[in-house]
Amino acid sequence: MKTFFSFLDKRPAKHVWRLTLLMVVILSVISATSGKTHLFELFCFFPITLASWYGSKKSGIILSITSSILLFFLDALNTDFDPIKILTYGFPYAISFSALAIIITNFRNVYREKSMAADTDKLTDILNSRGFYTELTNELLRSVRYRHPFSLAYIDVDNFKSINDSKGHAEGDKLLIEVAQCLKVSLRITDSVARLGGDEFACLFPETGQKASKSAFAKASKALDRRMKCYHWPVSFSVGLVTFERIPTDIKEAMRIADDLMYTVKNADKNNISYQVWHGKV
């Protein structure tokens, strides 16, 4: 069942609509052939709920109206035809089905907004560590399945403390926001950018080898340097960029490897990028 819901979550709204419509039609056929209208009344709430949660409010309401019309004809087949009686009986169902679709859709929207907020850094409006670890976990699973490499950059802002001390925390926050937005804009749309906390950031390059990740981050690095000079901020960046040709044990190991590589730069001359291809434990 969990696999089925995961499948729906990844489908476009129109695909979900077609599937749920098919479910309603099948239910109506079963009810018509068995003469048991109550089966349709009982089970049609399920496809309406699916259409509203995984599709859209519009698809949920349309399916609700469609279900009400089918229920009207099922009653006409199984009882003496009395339009007023059937309409009086069917109209409350149309209202109930549509109300269900609206409630489910609104609840879904609130749920997704709260989920996004939980994964977003409030200051910079990019992923926080929680959201980034989720993306990294998903990438590990993809890499295990498809045997593709991926790359991970760990970034530390050099001399950030001096900005906070000399110009205040407001200026420090402004710097962090600019770094976040610069990374977000200059990297590819498929890449993930996160603020891990303090002045540390991370970038995930899905299904990307060393050559492509170097090229992608070189653009971001130049953009960062220009942005810092534009604001006259005397900071630089220590970066560890690891390409995983072999799959690490878990996300903790992946982050530790990238973090260790970043600190080799931090403990040397700073303001540099160190690259590594990880082939697994020796």
Bridging pattern class, strands 272-278 and 236-244: parallel
* Same domain, residue pair 12 and 78: yes
The whole-number pLDDT of residue 1 equals 58
Q: Which two tokens stand for residue 30?
A: 């079963």
Q: What is the mean pLDDT of the chain?
A: 88
Residue 244 scores a pLDDT above 70: yes
Section 170-188 average pLDDT: 95
| pLDDT of 2 | 57
Q: What is the CATH number of the domain that holds 206?
A: 3.30.70.270
Number of domains in the chain: 2
Place of tokens 């009653």: 75
pLDDT class of 8 with cuts at 50, 70, 90: confident
114 with 183, same domain: the answer is no
**Residue 78 has what pLDDT?**
64
- Type of residue numbered 265: V
- Confidence check: pLDDT of 32 > 70: yes
Any idea what DSSP says for residue 194? Answer: E
pTM above 0.85, yes or no: no
In a domain, 123, yes or no: no
- Does residue 91 share a domain with residue 39? yes
Do 110 and 21 fall within a single domain?
A: yes
- Measuring CA to CA, how many Å separate 17 from each of 29, 64, 185, 193? 18, 11, 34, 33
12 domain residue, yes or no: yes
Reported as a pLDDT band with limits 50, 70 and 90, residue 81 is low
Judgement on whether residues 136 and 259 belong to the same structural domain of the protein: yes
100-154 pLDDT, tens digit each: 888 998 888 887 777 766 889 999 999 999 999 999 999 999 998 889 999 999 9
Q: What amino acid is encoded at 126 in this protein?
A: I
Q: Which of 67, 91, 118 is a domain's end point?
A: 118
Residue 51 falls inside a structural domain:
yes
Looking at the chain, the whole-number percentage of residues with pLDDT higher than 90 is 53
pLDDT computed for residue 250 by the predictor: 92
Q: Which residues, 6+ apart, have CB-to-CB distance to 238 below 8 Å?
A: 155, 156, 158, 262, 263, 265, 266, 270, 271, 272
Shared domain for 97 and 185, answered yes or no, is no
Same domain, 133 and 272: yes
Instruction: Please say which residue of 88, 118, 148 terminates a domain.
Output: 118
Identify whether 178 is part of a domain: yes
Integer Cα distance of 35 and 76 in angstroms:
11
**Residue 259 to residues 16, 207, 224, 276, Cα–Cα distance (Å):** 42, 20, 20, 12
List 204's β-bridge partners, or say none.
152, 192
**Between 210-230 and 169-186, two packed helices, what is the crossing angle to 10 degrees?**
140
How far apart CA 72 and CA 78 sit, in angstroms, is: 10
Strand partners, 237: 157
Angstrom distance (rounded) from CA 49 to CA 41 = 14
Residues 36 and 146 in one domain: no
Q: What does the pLDDT average to over 249-275?
A: 94
Whether 282 has a pLDDT exceeding 60, the answer reads no
Instruction: Decide which of 86 and 165 is more confident.
Output: 165
Instruction: Between 81 and 253, name the one with better pLDDT.
Output: 253
Crossing angle for the helix pair 169-186 and 160-167, to the nearest 10 degrees: 140
Query: In terms of residue numbers, what domain contains 12?
Result: 2-118
> Residue 124 falls within a domain, yes or no?
no
Residues 272, 138 share a domain = yes
- Which residue intervals of the chain are DSSP H helices? 2-9, 13-34, 37-43, 45-50, 57-78, 83-118, 129-146, 160-167, 169-186, 210-230, 251-266
Residue 207's pLDDT band (boundaries 50, 70, 90)?
very high
- For residue 173, being part of any structural domain is answered with yes
Given a contact cutoff of 8 angstroms between Cβ atoms, the answer to whether 238 and 266 are in contact is yes
